[in-house]
Structure 1
């Protein structure tokens, strides 16, 4: 009987580990114009009016723009004064509250004080965590038509205290999104 209880003791730790590691990932979604011929897009420039509207500080804007530029150039696109596509960004942030109600552990029959005899749980633990979850949108716009041709969004937890971690996180957001650009041909 003792050996059958070991998996139950390890299960809460495994669930907590899964929750913690899933919080660190970036969730990505993309949408695009199915009529656009993405082979025609070779050059890009940043769309300043759109970027100026992004409600983040200038340091973070520069981090994001440098990451986008590096990722696009690594994928063969060229920055140009006369571009095929324009790049714009915008951001959102939300407070995310997670409540974990853990009622795991060994229970037993016994005297419960005012409650009398009955089943008593060995561990009942509630945890509340609050994190800032950010969404970064990258819009790619046909420079001639001024029409949106592709949009990527990345959602995940933001690191705001450590500059090095923030740099890494921005690059992770951008690379995860632009990994899906251009869309695969059907």
Structure 2
């Protein structure tokens, strides 16, 4: 029971960190209105660490590619017609990073009412919480010169519990939506 009280603030703190807006990086000298077509660069989805069964494989790769394709379509970018080169090449990366956070809980203090109360003195306990974060990064390269023109990334705490395919779809769609919500930049 005590560990539950220690874990609850940690979860609240981590969920609060997820609300921050994605801050992409991009080449300010590029006119993003000139980009009308896109396609995936090879490989379309890379994972770090490589061969991690949670990240590699056709199922997760297809989820990422489908979600990116849907978001690009929403932004008016289309795949090129046959025998035509795309304006943008898109690369995606799935990464798992180990994270740590310090969580402090306080307990103790005043008990009772009025003048008959008791002061027990507060106590603060700090505990380190280790967790894993799933990070999705999307890079866009100008197809004519191969240079990176836009990059966005977003992460979420990776659940220790097995996820259903529906939950995995939701997580990927949520991450891609957050990342590409700030594309194009101008």
TM-score band, normalised by the shorter chain?
0.7 to 0.9
Report the counterpart of residue 85 of structure 1 in structure 2.
88
Task: Report SS of the residue matched to 1:103.
Answer: strand
Report the counterpart of residue 32 of structure 1 in structure 2.
26
TM-superposed CA distance for 1:91, in Å, is 2.8
1:161 correspondence with 2:155? no
Deviation by residue 1:31-54 (Cα, 9 ceiling, x = unmatched): 111111111111110001363566
Higher relative helix content:
1
In structure 2, list runs of 5 or more residues that go unmatched: 1-5, 112-118
TM-superposed CA distance for 1:157, in Å, is 1.2
Deviation by residue 1:126-174 (Cα, 9 ceiling, x = unmatched): 5553321122110111111111110111122124621222211111111
Instruction: Note the aligned Cα RMSD (angstroms).
Output: 2.9
Please tell me whether the aligned partners of residues 158 and 166 of structure 1 are also in contact (alpha carbons under 8 angstroms): no
Query: 1 CA distance for matches of 2:31 and 2:79?
Result: 19
Query: 2 CA distance for matches of 1:67 and 1:88?
Result: 13
TM-superposed CA distance for 1:122, in Å, is 6.1
* TM value normalised by structure 2: 0.73
Distance 1:121 1:20, change over 3 A: farther
Number of residue pairs aligned between Structure 1 and Structure 2: 162
Higher radius of gyration, 1 or 2: 1
1:42 correspondence with 2:58? no
Distance 1:44 1:61, change over 3 A: same
Alignment of 1:1-186 (within 5 A): 18-19=12-13, 21-25=15-19, 28-49=22-43, 51-52=45-46, 55=50, 56-58=55-57, 59-80=59-80, 82-107=85-110, 120-121=120-121, 126=126, 128-159=128-159, 161-162=162-163, 163-184=165-186
Distance 1:53 1:105, change over 3 A: closer
In structure 1, list runs of 5 or more residues that go unmatched: 1-11, 109-118
